[in-house]
Structures are given as structure tokens and as C-alpha cells.
Structure 1
């Protein structure tokens, strides 16, 4: 039997979430990308996600195997977009951050299930505009974004270094 669902993350999930994030960091490093190789997302960032109720876990047969933060407030990194523009600048938007799946669970299309469920949650909260970003070397996240109908909008920066450059995507429902 295959039992899979998404739920709000609990503080008791923290050690499992850290493992999922660390697995994703290894995967990203293996692709040569500097994304997530500076210690972020850190345990304190994940604790803040849980405290603010924006962390969600993917559970498969009772095991936490995926994690995503569904940000429900404007992300200041998205205020300035270069080499493009946002299509929807009037409606509130939700942002998906820290999309990750544990080792041993990739290749099973579980990120599809997780993101689809986060859209359902976000839609139920009144969001019709979703955003996501990723490093230009993170081809997996770019593929997933386009697969879900996100459209490339331009470049944002999540910090002051050139490695903090991200491809930004938007989806309007």
C-alpha cells in the first residue's frame, strides 16, 4: 500500500527535515552548483519556518521524505527583478522555497505530488499568484518549475554575491 500526503510541518519533524535538506544539499553540490553550499538553509531558518507555520512536509508511508516552505508574505528578494518583469504586480503571491526530496525517494515524481498539494493549500488560502526561484545550475528545479506551468520572468538576487543570482518564475492561476 502506498500512502502519501502533505501536511504542515511540526517541531517534532525538525530532525527529519534537516536530513531531507542535507540530502538536497548533497545533490545540488554534485551538480556543481553553489546553491545551498554556504550553510543555508540552516537549522535556524527551518526552525523559523516551523514557528511561522510555513513549513510543509511530504509524508510517504509514515516517513517524512520531502520539505517545502510556502511563504505567504512578500519576499523582499523579489522586489527588484532584472532582465524581465513580473506579470502580476497587484495580487498577493505565495512563494515556494526549499523544495527538497530525500535520497532514495527521487525519481518517483513525488515533487509533483508535493507541489500540486501546495498549490491546493495556497489556493485555499486565497493565492492565485505563485513564485519560485532557483540557481541557473539547478536544472532539476528549472524543469519542475516549467513542468508546472511557471514562466520564467527574469533575474533576482538573494544576496550580494554573483552566486546569489537566481532565475525567477511566476505562475498565475
Structure 2
């Protein structure tokens, strides 16, 4: 039995599975010395629901649940957007993506690369069922969006490494004041690939793919 990875939009049918992925991610962050980036509750259920209903949540999935020994480090083609649901599907990773200006990014202790329209990546998490989930999600984003911003915790050294190895520039610090139970200061990153000197934000193909 062969399988592959692909990316699809989440639906409310995925809600419980997504909650479990974020619970696993919080546990792993705590175990690696980063217990306060997400605390023991973030992202809250209402935030997850709003992301799904707004068409922002994307899932990295495969169809390997029926395999006796699913591969942990598969050599698959780069995943692309495909909205089908696998018969033996597993969620490998999850993230939320936005194209509007992020209010938390308006003030920065530092400087963004530019003030042009951008796409934001939030709430990247792995289920632990396969390796390289963050790599696959970021690589997909880089293929489809030219100007991308993200943030991560001061002690999330793994995510900092992933962002930097994907060509993101550390731009400074931002403050996320909406939740007193988690660390509010985050490292801000941006990557802007200019292909023709004028285009930024979602590429035309990505605009079509992500219109839901």
C-alpha cells in the first residue's frame, strides 16, 4: 500500500482531532523547556473553531493509518493542496493562514522587511505521527506566497531554526497582549521573495486555490 502527503482545508468534522494535535504540541513544548508559549490551553477551542469556519485552518495529512508500520520519515513529493479526505487519513500537521493585516504586528521592537501586503502563518503544530510537518507546511507556503510573516516563542528554538533555515529574517519582537496566561513577547520573522519587483502576498494560483 502506497501513500502520500497532501494539504487540505479543515472542517468542523476535524475539530476534535485538531484539538488533540494542539494538546500534543503543548505537551512537547513543555517537555523541551518552552512551557509558556502556549501554556496549557492555547489555542482556545473558540479560536480553533473561528479559524476553521473562516477557512484559515489547513491540515497536512497522509493516508497511512491502515499501514502496519507507517513511515516516520517518508520520501514523498512536496505536498500540495488537495481537498479530498483520505480513507485512512492521519493528520500530520496543522496551521492557520491569514491574508489580512495582523493587528499584533502593527507595533514591533525592531523593523519588518517592508510594509507591503503579507500572509501570516499562525499556530503551526505537529501531531507527532510523522516527521518534518513544519518543514512541509512552510515549504508549501513558500511555494505559494511571496511575502510571509510569522512569530514564535523566545524559547521555541526548534521553530526558530525551522523559520531561519527556510529563509526567514528575524525582524524583532512583538507583544501579543490578549492572553495573560502565556508569554506575551514573541520573536517576529518575515520572508519576502520578490519575483517581478511588484507582486507580493498570495500568488495568483494560491489566491484561486485558497478561495473557499
- In the superposition, the TM-score normalised over structure 2's length comes to 0.73
1:28 aligns to what?
A: 29
Structure 2 match to 1:4? 5
Following superposition, the deviation at residue 129 of structure 1 comes to 1.1
Does residue 154 (structure 1) correspond to residue 172 (structure 2)? The answer is yes
| Structure 2: runs of 5+ lacking an equivalent | 64-88, 194-212
* Paired position in structure 2 for 1:42: 44
User: Which structure's residues are more often helix, by fraction?
Assistant: 1
Query: Does residue 99 of structure 1 match 2:124?
Result: yes
Higher Rg: 2
The correspondence for 1:163, drawn from 175, 183, 186, is: 183
Find the counterpart in structure 1 of residue 113 from structure 2: 87
Alignment pair present for 1:143 and 2:161 = yes
Distance change in 2, residues 1:76/1:38 (3 Å): farther
Structure 1: distance between partners of 2:125 and 2:170: 20
Which blocks of at least 5 consecutive residues in structure 1 are unaligned?
none
| Inter-partner Cα distance in structure 1 for 2:27 and 2:40 | 12
Q: Root-mean-square deviation (CA), in Å? A: 1.6
Calculate the TM-score normalised by the size of structure 1: 0.89
